[in-house]
Amino acid sequence: MTDSLKSAKASLRAEIRARMQAFAADKPATTARKFCEQLRHQSVWAHAKSVLLFAPLADEPNLWPLLMEALAARKTVCLPRYDSASEGYVARQVRDLHQDLVCGKFRVREPAADCPEVPLNRLDLVLVPGVAFDPRGGRLGRGQGYYDRLLADVRGTKCGVAFDEQIVDAVPVGPLDIRLNCILTPTRWIET
């Protein structure tokens, strides 16, 4: 990554973090319902037989209710699990939210080691958090490249999940950054 790209990404991360700090502390919780309603109206959700969701950090959109709905609908439900051998994430299937989840490497809920691994190219829909997104499918993550490496093998729909305040005109992207097919916000569905 060039120094100018690294600098542009760091600058946008700082800008979005400042914007999000001004965000009401309770907004992530109050918008969870809106995110879920918005996604339920999309055919990609209805038709997906296998989905990769994420366990949200405190400042990320909470789609946890959809995880429970997907399990009830008999979808193959996966969450990312850190794999120390590859120093990256893999998709592991979750069947029981009480028995299958552990606290992972970054203190995030993730599937236990004995949960079955699901090949990334078999996922119909992957929901992806991030710091910033643009209408052309650009995504700015937290800076470690974990999701870009995971998304490289995904053949299904790659969907960013963001608060409206995280949508910007343009995200600086490099050759290893994976573009998304769509972006979900509490108020919009953006096809990229």
For the stretch 91-133, pLDDT in tens is 999 999 999 999 998 889 999 999 999 999 999 999 999 999 9
Q: What is residue 26's predicted lDDT score, i.e. its pLDDT? A: 54
Taking all residues of the chain, what is their mean pLDDT, rounded to a whole number?
A: 93
Supply the pTM of this predicted model. Answer: 0.93
**Can you give the residue range of the structural domain that contains 174?**
3-191
Question: pLDDT > 70: what percent of the chain?
Answer: 96
Q: Reply yes or no on whether the pLDDT at 154 is more than 80.
A: yes
Question: Which pLDDT value is given to residue 107?
Answer: 87
CB 28 within 8 A of CB 58: yes
Q: Looking at residues 141-149, what average pLDDT do you find?
A: 93
Q: Which residue has the higher pLDDT, 106 or 89?
A: 89
pLDDT at 32: 85
Provide the pLDDT for residue 171: 97
Counting the structural domains of the chain, the total is 1
Counted residue by residue, the chain has a size of 192
Phi (first) and psi of residue 166, to 5 degrees: -95, -5
Of the pLDDT bands very low, low, confident and very high (cuts 50, 70, 90), residue 34 is: very high
Q: Span 9-22, mean pLDDT? A: 91
Q: Between 160 and 30, name the one with better pLDDT.
A: 160
Contacts of 86 (CB under 8 A, 6+ apart): none
- Give the model's confidence band at 24: pLDDT under 50 very low, under 70 low, under 90 confident, else very high: low
User: The domain that contains 102 carries what CATH number?
Assistant: 3.40.50.10420
Residue 22 confidence (pLDDT): 76
pLDDT score of 90 more than 80:
yes
pLDDT band at 45 (very low <50, low <70, confident <90, very high): very high
Provide the pLDDT for residue 59: 85
pLDDT at 47: 97
Q: What's CA 32's distance to the chain center, in Å?
A: 14
Task: Report the b/e string of 22-46 with b at 16+ CB within 10 A.
Answer: eeeeeebeebbeebbebbeebebbe
